[in-house]
Amino acid sequence: MGPGGPVTIAGFHGAVLGLGEAARGAVSALTKAGAPPRAWDVSERLGHPRRLDYGDEAPPAAGPGVLIAHMNPPELIQLINTAGRAPFEGKHVIGYWAWELPDIPALWKPAFRYVDEIWAPSTFTAEAIRRSAPRRLAVKVVPHPVPESHVASDRARFGFPPDRVIILCAFDFRSTFARKNPLAALEAFRQAAIRARHPATLVFKTVGGVEIPEALDALVAAIGDAPDVILLTETMSADDRDRLLASCDILLSLHRAEGFGLLLAEAMAAGKAVVATGWSGNMDFMDENSAILVSYVLTPAQDIQGIYHRGMWAEADVEAAGRALAELIDDRDRREAIGDKARAMVRRHLAPLVVASLMRDALEGEAPSSTPRGRPEGTCP
């Protein structure tokens, strides 16, 4: 498959990272479609521990084919510097890039010379790349595949109270504390807990706190001794992560920006009601029927971790989120109705075979584009 030979997907296949999960998902989607690619795991080569036995660490040989580099430009350039040019020689090189703000960083631009086209997981990211890309480069929207999930709930495994509505807020500190905005989620929950008649518990599931200890300390301090907030920081297997998602009733994300929003899509695929900021990459697969979209205002991005230097991102309306959350806590039927519509939305637009078809079309020269499913800026249902 592809323009002139086999397909190799280079990525962090063996690493416990969102980028790794996305790369493995692309391999799985094409495999299910009957066109299995080769998975080139570059995790250790690029400084990430190989925790999963997935893919082959040996680079592909020079020669015809397609190489999809499932990583952003800094990592792509680092890979070329460490692996040499041979794995890329003779191949149609596709950069699969993800970014969370309306404009890409200037330091990405030198990487344009190393790719023949670019894929992006969302319309939002594609538009950000197109603003800077040379005209010769096609920028195509190829979303992450999200399989439907029917994993059983197992609240006892995580120590969740059986009689409470469980709200999950999960994030990676390395994706920046400011962008993921968990303190806004905490405040929205506190406001909702005052309004709601039914008791609820907020669960934070985090990774990367060891690498960003000051951000973890800030979250711990904000939680304090609240009896209705649980913080989970341990590394989980993929199965336990699926059980955790199945064990919650609502997923809460007051993110300031998302390039795609993979966890949000996974929660929808599991039939969960999602309360999320109504801006950025998640708007390709969310609308007012399949999720609760929280209003926002655009503000200058400020990120003390230094990843996001310039640009605008969304400041969610915490009071609106608190009101919406309280209503969902008290209305199980509405939660389930939204979850059913969410599952159907993901099945329609992000199912692995649907995405595999988009990938095949992209490889054959067509330029897929997601239909924007969003609403006017700054609105809220």
Q: Are 87 and 63 in contact (CB under 8 A)?
A: no
Q: How far apart are CA 305 and CA 191, in angstroms?
A: 28
Output the tens digit of pLDDT for each of the chain's 381 residues.
Answer: 446 689 999 999 999 888 899 999 999 989 988 889 999 999 999 999 999 999 999 999 999 999 999 999 999 999 999 999 999 999 999 999 999 999 999 999 999 999 999 999 999 999 999 999 999 999 999 999 999 988 999 999 999 999 999 999 999 999 999 999 999 999 999 999 999 999 999 999 999 999 999 999 999 999 999 999 999 999 898 899 999 999 999 999 999 999 999 999 999 999 999 999 999 999 999 999 999 999 999 999 999 999 998 899 999 999 999 999 999 999 999 999 999 999 999 999 999 999 999 999 998 875 544 433 443 334 333
Q: Are 51 and 58 in contact (CB under 8 A)?
A: no
Q: How far is CA 353 from the centre of its chain?
A: 19
CA dihedral sign, ordered 150, 155, 158, 161: positive
In eight-state DSSP terms, residue 36 is P
CB neighbour list of residue 259: distance below 8 Å, 6 or more residues apart:
98, 99, 100, 120, 121, 122, 124, 125, 280, 281
| The pLDDT value given to residue 368 | 47
Would the pTM count as exceeding 0.85? yes
| The pLDDT value given to residue 3 | 60
Which domains can be identified in the chain, with CATH numbers? 7-145+351-364 (3.40.50.2000), 156-350 (3.40.50.2000)
